[in-house]
Chains A and B, each alone.
Chain A
Amino acid sequence: MDILVYALYIVAVAMFIIGLSGLTAPRSAVRGNKIAAAGMGVAFIATLIHIRDTSSWLVIVAALVVGVIVGIPPARKVKMTAVPQLVALFNGVGGGTVALIAWGEFIESDGFTGLRVASGPVLPLVIASLFAAIIGSLSFWGSVVAFLKLQQILPGHPLSVGRLQQPLNAILFLGSVVAAIIVGIGSANTGADPVWFGAILILAGILGVMTVLPIGGADMPVVISLLNALTGLSAAAAGLALNNIAMIVAGMLVGASGTILTNLMAKAMNRSILSIVAGGFGGGSKGVAATSSGDQLAKSTSAADAAIKLAYANQVIVVPGYGLAVAQAQHAVKDMAKVLEARGIEVKYAIHPVAGRMPGHMNVLLAEADVSYDAMIEMDDINDEFSRTDVTIVIGANDVTNPGARTDPNSPIFGMPVLNVDQSRAVIVLKRSMSSGFAGIENPLFFGANTTMLFGDAKKSVAQVTEELKAL
């Protein structure tokens, strides 16, 4: 029977890989996801076969039922704008599971002494379990904070204890490692004191909270994908400890993909992962940048004027940002694009890799509004087109359009690749007010000679522009 279990695991693992490769193209993605889900089903059945003699069926079935009841409704009902926090939450419970598994093993083996009795690679197995405990707990609490920030239960801007932040994080990290070493040594003798295992989970948990709290909303895509990668790695470690190849492979696939995504995001911001994790933008340079352009004037415009500009354009580029998600303006934007297209105007969407709060956030929002994915163009492919574009509409995006990142060496985001919105013949910026973006950086784009501002709620503004367009 164990051979059957192993064989099923191999099938499941193959299905994960096939499923993931399906996710690399829009056409095959739905099928890819279903194949991966089916693979999970196979792995699940294999595991039930593996533990068929257990006396704990009642607990297991009850837990599965509760999990299904709790898990499905939010996944089916949540609005697409709330997906980032939902993903953060699902990621968190995954990390939590890993930490709990390690804890369960610790209890079951009387402080890992059970492992000592067995022959073989005891030390590596204990290390894998402890790694899983640290990273799992860190990922759980970090994801919970990310969720609370995205859900705006906690303020989205960076919260930190200032200069003490990094030493404090270092102490927490070292503390959890020391506790892990004490547990490891204990497991080689008479069994480790549960207090120390608790210390691992608590210290790593606080570290997770303290690491994510100071990270600003604009850096969220990086954090979410980093936490995702960490949960994957901890799952792989737990798989090693439990000698479960399905967990090893699946965890490692997630770890690898999460690492790639995290890297892509960090690159798109021209910052290292380390500097993002170390906390928000430097406070000093922020103050300087904010005052330097204080006396400049932004020109405000009306929906009617904006409509006229749009009506006589040949090509219009829409630049969506997090503000579009907040205002839920994606359908309004699609309606406007339809009117424009009916007039023979070409409408494209410029997607910055870190626009929004998770990787690819804007693509999902626009897809929900039925925007063709051919019309969503990545930064590198569209940046040369701005100079040939008549009107660019910036909706709720700020830092990703800041020309200061190209031209002003004093700008805190100098060097970050941005959309060259300022090069188009006219720019209309839809914004609630003149407040600066998430990073708190002044945006020279707003004061440009060819820029006009349309203040107000993005959804309402877009709808007004659409009405005016129809009336023309």
Chain B
Amino acid sequence: MDYTGFLANIAILVLSGFIGFAVISKVPNTLHTPLMSGTNAIHGIVVLGALVVLGTAHNPSIPLQIISFVAIVFGTVNVIGGFVVTDRMLAMFKTRSVASTDGKN
């Protein structure tokens, strides 16, 4: 990578920060837990990093393989678990109708 590419990445980084601020500042209190849980799942994106490190290594040594293995397991748990638990949480909000007098379903 050259400096231009690096600076382009920095630009993306800064702009993403602003987008994040703009989008999230509108979230109501009610959804704070699902939001945290959802963003928690999104930072599971780090699993890609673990895949890249191991996947682009030429003849990875045993320590690197072990570290990457654990990293991929951790990252996958983060992503999958995060999205599943967020979905469960949100499903409870979804079934809400205006008349909330009906019993458990």
Contact = CB atoms under 8 A, between A and B. Distances in A.
> Do A and B assemble together?
yes
Interface of A: 16-17, 19-21, 23-26, 29-30, 32-34, 36-37, 40, 43-44, 47-48, 50-51, 54-56, 59-60, 62-64, 66-68, 70-72, 74-76, 78, 80, 83, 86-87, 90-91, 93-94, 96-98, 100-101, 103-105, 107-108, 118-121, 124-125, 224-225, 228, 231-232, 235-236, 238-240, 242-261, 264, 338, 341, 351, 353, 358-361, 363-364, 367-368, 370-376, 378
A374 B97 CA distance: 10
Contacts of B36: 87, 224-225, 228, 258, 261, 358-360
Contacts of A97: 44, 46-47, 49-50, 71-72, 74-75, 78
A154 B84 CA distance: 27
A36 B68 contact: no
27 contacts: A17-B23, A20-B20, A20-B23, A30-B87, A40-B41, A43-B45, A47-B55, A50-B52, A55-B59, A63-B76, A80-B89, A86-B81, A90-B44, A94-B46, A97-B78, A98-B46, A104-B54, A107-B64, A121-B2, A235-B46, A236-B13, A246-B48, A248-B13, A249-B13, A257-B27, A359-B29, A359-B32
Contacts, number: 393
Contacts of A245: 9, 12
A83 B33 contact: yes
Given A248-B9, A253-B16, A367-B96, A75 B74 contact: no
A256 B85 contact: no
Report, nearest first, the 4 A-B pairs whose CB atoms are least far apart: A67-B76, A51-B55, A256-B20, A360-B32
Contact of B24 (A24, A33, A373): A24
Interface in B54-92: 54-57, 59-61, 63-65, 67-92
A263 B10 CA distance: 24
A75 B78 CA distance: 10
Contact of A75 (B21, B29, B70, B81): B81
Contact of B90 (A33, A55, A120, A370): A33
Contact of A26 (B12, B30, B48, B83): B30
A254 B67 contact: no
Contacts of A100: 50, 67-68, 70-71, 74
A378 B29 contact: yes
Contacts of A98: 46, 49
B34 A252 contact: no
Given A97-B78, A235-B45, A252-B17, A86 B30 contact: no
A86 B84 CA distance: 12
B10 A240 contact: yes
Contacts of A255: 17, 20
Contact of A260 (B21, B51, B61, B70): B21
Contacts of A59: 54, 65, 68-69, 72
A338 B100 CA distance: 9
A86 B85 CA distance: 9
Contacts of A225: 36
